[in-house]
């Protein structure tokens, strides 16, 4: 199995969640061993996708360099990761990635248009060898060894529509597209009002998020899945875990996980080489590991 990129450059324009202004996004192919590189064309700054470049995780995963940032990258990264893309240049002309409809479905369609192609170097994956966990109170995120890739996420909200939800995704590209990619981000009306008073979430609307008041969903079309909330949390986690720098094989488990906890998990994983091994997907012995990224 070989590293991948896209066959042709593709682009779209969408609204930025926080500024509410149009953002142009362009994806371009890169050669083997390049990784995922973000580039802000408005200020001529490149930001490689590395854990040390994460500068904020409060409302979204934000990377930065030289005082310049790119926010809300997790939905796009979730799709890139699900498609098994190893090398890609992501160009934006603003400080955030377009929110689109609040899910990663638009990015999946963009990648389908771009077409994923193989390059000339073997694909590398990280195989988790031992448990790595971040725990804060009752909240936790955890990686453990496995022969495949699975995401098990549980959320609990004191809201009559959400309550407690759990979803387990046995990861493949197809299960991701079918079960996860259409799940939208969500927020509460009082939080949205507060954020707007601070000059944030100016682009947020019922077109790109599920919004709830104290008792119900405000979106007239309702939910795409009965448990859309926890499915979106898996979508976010897949994007956040791409900060490892490559695809991985193992089990991810979370209870009330967040961007912040996911970032701490990647840092803890990478700080000890005994937690993992890097495997090149060549030869018969790696056939089992290839299944998730076929």
Q: Sort 8 into a burial class: Cβ within 10 Å, 0-12 / 13-18 / 19+.
A: exposed
CA 241, 38, 232, 116 torsion-angle sign: negative
Phi-psi domain of 164 (left: phi exceeds 0; alpha: psi -120 through 50; beta: other): beta
* Catalytic (active site) residue 75: no
Beta strand 88-92 pairing with 36-40: parallel
Task: Tell me the β-bridge partners of 11.
Answer: 26
Which residue shows structure tokens 């939080």?
191
In our burial notation (b when 16+ CB lie closer than 10 A, e otherwise), range 64-83 reads bbeebbbbbbbbbbbbbbbb
Catalytic, out of 18, 75, 232, 259: 259
First-last CA distance in the chain: 8
Q: Which two tokens stand for residue 43?
A: 């200020």
Residue 35 CB contacts under 8 Å (≥ 6 apart), including other chains:
48, 49, 86, 87, 245
Q: How many CB atoms lie within 10 A of CB 16?
A: 20
Which residue shows structure tokens 């098994």?
84
CA distance 294 to 291: 5
- The residues carrying an active-site annotation are 259
């Amino acid at each position: 199995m070989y590293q991948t990129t896209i066959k042709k450059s593709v682009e779209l324009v969408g609204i930025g969640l926080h500024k509410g202004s149009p953002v142009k996004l362009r994806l371009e192919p890169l050669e083997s061993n390049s990784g995922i590189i973000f580039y802000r064309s408005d200020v001529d700054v490149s930001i490689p996708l590395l854990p040390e470049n994460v500068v904020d995780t409060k409302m979204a995963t934000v990377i930065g360099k030289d005082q310049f940032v790119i926010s809300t990258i997790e939905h796009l990264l979730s799709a890139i990761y699900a498609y098994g893309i190893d090398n890609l240049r992501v160009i934006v002309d603003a400080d955030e990635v377009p929110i689109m409809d609040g899910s990663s479905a638009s990015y999946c369609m963009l990648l389908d248009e771009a077409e994923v192609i193989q390059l000339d170097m073997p694909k590398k994956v990280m195989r988790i060898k031992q448990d790595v966990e971040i725990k804060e109170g009752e909240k936790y995120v955890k990686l453990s060894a496995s022969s495949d890739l699975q995401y098990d996420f549980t959320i609990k909200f004191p809201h009559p529509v959400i309550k407690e939800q759990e979803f387990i995704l046995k990861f493949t590209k197809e299960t991701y597209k079918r079960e996860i990619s259409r799940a939208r981000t969500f927020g509460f009306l009082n939080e949205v009002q507060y954020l707007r008073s601070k000059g944030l979430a100016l682009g947020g609307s019922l077109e790109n998020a599920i919004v709830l008041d104290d008792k119900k969903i405000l979106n007239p079309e309702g939910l795409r899945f009965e448990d859309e909330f926890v499915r979106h949390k898996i979508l976010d986690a897949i994007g956040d875990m791409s900060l490892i720098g490559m695809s991985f094989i193992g089990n991810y488990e979370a209870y009330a996980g967040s961007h912040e906890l996911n970032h701490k998990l990647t840092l803890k994983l990478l700080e000890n080489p005994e937690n993992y091994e890097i495997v090149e997907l060549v030869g018969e012995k790696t056939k089992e590991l290839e299944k998730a990224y076929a």
